[in-house]
Structure 1
Amino acid sequence: MKANQLDNCRICGTLFLKDYTDYCLDCYKEIEEEFKIVNEFLKIEANRFANIQDVSLSTNVSVKQIADFIRDGRIYADDLPNLGYPCKHCGKVIKRQILCDDCFKDFSLEIDATMKNDKFLEETGRKRVRPKVNAQYWKIR
């Protein structure tokens, strides 16, 4: 049996006994209240075509929190045609994951090429030379 652990709340920093969530009881209650507000807003037929900014403005819940609800699967965005959040790399509106399919594919290809190059260099006993010009770095905004 796993013992409970002390942890700091991800929102307010309060020390709490961590069981099933990363938030203290007060912050957890606030998040649940925000979820109820967003969920009730989206149940209204006229609001089903709202985008994430419209939902945020109408409910006073942050865009980040609404995106977390979608990402966690608490709000099923596939039923809501305009609801989504931006890809962390290119900003394209997506409904799941962190990166859009195109950025994920590009990122995977770069990782594969790097791994193959590193393996080849390791097998031949050479050291890796890092490019100093025109290097493309992945950055999550």
Structure 2
Amino acid sequence: MDLLNCPNCGMLYMKNSVRDVCDKCYREEEALFDKVYNFLRKQENRASRIERVSEVTGAPEKLLYKWVKRGRLHTAHFPNLGYPCDRCGKIIREGKLCEECTTGIKGELDMFDKEQERLEQLHKSIYYAQDRRR
């Protein structure tokens, strides 16, 4: 466990695997979670988007994203909830990156690997050319 300043209020607290804020802020977050969950449990609200949930309940979008990301608000039950991709900010429902960013990074890595192979071949041909002169 680490001794940290609460990112919300600045008070010192002991960070653990469950809480990433101080006890006071944790209690406030839990009260907000109850309010959000009660709102979403109603059939007519299950398809609400993050913006609407935040507007009605007063819960900050950042906090809603945290709950979705951690699985406290299940996207299977609330299909329009999600959180931003770590790279581009597009709303996603699982993982850290959206499909486009994942594909883009894979493509960039493939290009990097091909360039590394090309440089190795170039280095080998230069090495052999230098070796023959001796």
Q: Do both proteins adopt the same fold according to a TM-score greater than 0.5, normalized to the shorter chain?
A: yes
Instruction: Check the 8 A contact 2:36/2:57 in 1, yes or no.
Output: yes
1:52 corresponding residue in structure 2? 50
RMSD: 2.3
| TM-score (norm. length: structure 1) | 0.72
Whole-Å Cα distance in 1 between the matches of residues 106 and 60 of structure 2? Answer: 31
2:131 corresponding residue in structure 1? none
User: Does residue 15 of the first structure (1) align with residue 29 of the second (2)?
Assistant: no
Q: Which has the higher helix share?
A: 2
Report 1:53-72 matches (<5 A).
Answer: 53-72=51-70
Give the counterpart of 2:98 among 97, 100, 104: 100
Show CA shifts across 1:82-117 (max 9, x none).
222343444433212232112112122213432553
2:41 corresponding residue in structure 1? 43
What SS class does the counterpart of residue 79 from structure 1 fall into?
coil
What SS class does the counterpart of residue 83 from structure 1 fall into?
coil
Give 4+ residue runs of structure 1 displaced > 6 Å after superposition. none
Instruction: Check the 8 A contact 1:49/1:80 in 2, yes or no.
Output: yes
**For this pair of structures, how many residues does the alignment match?**
122
Whole-Å Cα distance in 2 between the matches of residues 122 and 15 of structure 1? Answer: 52
| Structure 2 residue ranges without an equivalent (≥5) | 125-134
Query: For residues 118 and 24 of structure 1, do their structure 2 counterparts lie closer, same or farther at Cα, with a shift above 3 Å needed?
Result: farther
Q: Rg: which structure is higher?
A: 2
| TM-score (norm. length: structure 2) | 0.75
1:25 corresponding residue in structure 2? 23
| Structure 1 residue ranges without an equivalent (≥5) | 126-141
Query: For residues 12 and 111 of structure 1, do their structure 2 counterparts lie closer, same or farther at Cα, with a shift above 3 Å needed?
Result: farther
% of aligned pairs identical?
A: 37
Show CA shifts across 1:61-96 (max 9, x none).
111111111011111012222222343444433212
Give the counterpart of 1:34 among 32, 43, 48: 32
